Structure 1
């Protein structure tokens, strides 16, 4: 176990080093002065620019500059936005939770729908139910996320009027920002009608969540179906039948647990796709997340915001993916046996 932890720690550190290096290099690739792209301060702010040049050791070699850049990152000095003039550390901390919240709800919905349907398709293998679910999953996977989001807006917002078009909550509610997770902030607030605010927040969540969850649900369905079929055809399942266990007993005692073990690492790899789709959907529904913020930064040529936003999203994806994969590696007995066999 110690060797596994050390390997993953080294892998995470190396990956984060490469991401920070790319983020640092971007400041030199964007138009304008590198210090200006790092700090977000305009050249006419002479005193501030001189202090920033000293802070980042702009007159020294590139290695010294990178070392000072890393120090400023850890200190929370990510620069300021060209467009808003606000510190980027605060901007990222404000917008990133909205994207995480939207992705988390979509992932939960995908699990809730995709896993049972995957088991049903596997248990009805090569039957009408299996073929029907595979056809629906193929259709759902083929639909572009942005097109599905626009279609949901057209049907359920413009024609039926069931759900709001954009935003995170009705403008009638002023939610104090505590954690920047809207549901948690509503529950922690004492100055509003919580029930009405929760209903409004969930109504705003439904369409963006469905737009993201469709693709992930189809992936989970197909992955689950394949894993369950392979598990049910394994030798230990045949041995369980030979001992006289009923199909229900075999499924509950041996099938579900062993089928889920290989699914979880594959699902962890879907988080980058899920977050990317969430960033696309945010711009369509005007969801105040990191994706919408980054797109606005690109439109406004806000280079410090682009650099900081890309670094924050990349670090989040790397840490989440590595953490899930490490957890599975430490808890999956088959992986542990395979590692011991190779050492």
Structure 2
């Protein structure tokens, strides 16, 4: 197990180095002045240009420039945004919790809805309930995210007026930024309207969470169903049933724990999908997260922001995938043996 963790750690370091090389290369691949792409400064005097060139080692070889780039990344000097003229690291710290919050809610919904429905669909795979669940899963898997989001907005926001169409919370509530996670900040805020603000934030969160959770939920349903059907045909399940255990006992004691082991790995894979779909969802619902910020930066040709955003999102996705792989190995004795 120790050797496995060391191999994974080495792979993680190697991937991070590759990502940093890619992010560093974008400063040269983007149009415009290389010094502006790295610093985020647009009006650079000749004296300042000479100073920054020496500081960023742009007059040296690429290896020295890359080392200087890594030093700036670890020290927190990520440059400035072309649009806001604010430090990029400060903007990312403000925006990233909103994306993580939305992705976490969607992942929880897919976990607590997709797995039970997948188990129900696997109990009687030829039954009417299993067919309905499978049909809904295929429909949810095939539906475009942007069309599904607009349909829910038309129904629940414009038609019925039950839910808001955009934002994380109403403009009437001023919540201090402490953690960046809206529900946590509301609970930490000392306000007499705390309950109203919490309900308002939940109403704002409901539609984006449903839209973002639709695709991973359908994937979780299908994967859990197939995993349960595969486990249900194993010899130890047939032996347990031959001993006189009923279906519920066999399901709880033997089938469920073995069928859910591959699902742990799927959580990491679905998280990467959630981050990708969150960009579209954040744009539609005006959710102030890093996905919407990155897409706005692309439209604005904000090259330093694109460089920093891609580095952060890629690092986040790879870290979560690596963590789920390690957890799967810890819980699965066969994986540890392999």
**Is 2:167–2:288's contact at 8 Å kept on the other side of the alignment?**
yes
User: In structure 2, what is the Cα distance between the partners aligned to 1:255 and 1:309?
Assistant: 42
**Is 2:78–2:87's contact at 8 Å kept on the other side of the alignment?**
yes
Deviation of the 1:45 alpha carbon: 4.2
User: In structure 2, what is the Cα distance between the partners aligned to 1:123 and 1:198?
Assistant: 39
Q: 1:218-273 CA distances to partner (integer Å, 9 max, x unpaired)?
A: 00000000011111111111111122212211111111111111221123211111
User: In structure 2, what is the Cα distance between the partners aligned to 1:243 and 1:70?
Assistant: 62
Does the C-alpha gap of structure 1 residues 179 and 47 become closer, same or farther in structure 2, counting only changes over 3 Å? Answer: farther
The 5 A counterparts of 1:38-57 are: 38-57=38-57
User: In structure 2, what is the Cα distance between the partners aligned to 1:327 and 1:48?
Assistant: 49
SS of the counterpart of 1:222? Answer: helix
User: In structure 2, what is the Cα distance between the partners aligned to 1:148 and 1:64?
Assistant: 49
User: In structure 2, what is the Cα distance between the partners aligned to 1:194 and 1:270?
Assistant: 33
User: In structure 2, what is the Cα distance between the partners aligned to 1:191 and 1:251?
Assistant: 48
| Aligned residue number for residue 303 of structure 2 | 303
User: In structure 2, what is the Cα distance between the partners aligned to 1:16 and 1:231?
Assistant: 37
User: In structure 2, what is the Cα distance between the partners aligned to 1:163 and 1:191?
Assistant: 23
| Aligned residue number for residue 166 of structure 2 | 166
User: In structure 1, what is the Cα distance between the partners aligned to 2:261 and 2:295?
Assistant: 38
User: In structure 1, what is the Cα distance between the partners aligned to 2:197 and 2:242?
Assistant: 57
User: In structure 2, what is the Cα distance between the partners aligned to 1:155 and 1:2?
Assistant: 53
The 5 A counterparts of 1:186-335 are: 186-335=186-335
Deviation of the 1:88 alpha carbon: 0.2
Q: Does 1:85 align with 2:81?
A: no
Q: 1:204-231 CA distances to partner (integer Å, 9 max, x unpaired)?
A: 0011011111111100000000011111
SS of the counterpart of 1:230? Answer: helix
Q: 1:271-306 CA distances to partner (integer Å, 9 max, x unpaired)?
A: 111111111100011000001101111111110001
> Normalising by structure 1, what TM-score?
0.96
SS of the counterpart of 2:173? Answer: coil
**Is 1:173–1:192's contact at 8 Å kept on the other side of the alignment?**
no
Deviation of the 1:196 alpha carbon: 0.5
User: In structure 1, what is the Cα distance between the partners aligned to 2:266 and 2:86?
Assistant: 39
Q: Does 1:95 align with 2:80?
A: no
**Is 1:110–1:216's contact at 8 Å kept on the other side of the alignment?**
yes
The 5 A counterparts of 1:13-92 are: 13-92=13-92
Structure 2 unaligned spans of 5+: none
**Is 1:41–1:49's contact at 8 Å kept on the other side of the alignment?**
no
Deviation of the 1:192 alpha carbon: 4.7
Q: Does 1:134 align with 2:134?
A: yes
User: In structure 1, what is the Cα distance between the partners aligned to 2:262 and 2:175?
Assistant: 41
Q: 1:70-114 CA distances to partner (integer Å, 9 max, x unpaired)?
A: 000000100000110000001111111100100000110111111
User: In structure 2, what is the Cα distance between the partners aligned to 1:226 and 1:248?
Assistant: 18
Does the C-alpha gap of structure 1 residues 110 and 71 become closer, same or farther in structure 2, counting only changes over 3 Å? Answer: same
Between 1:184-193 and 1:213-222, the stretch displaced more is 184-193
Q: CA RMSD in A?
A: 1.1
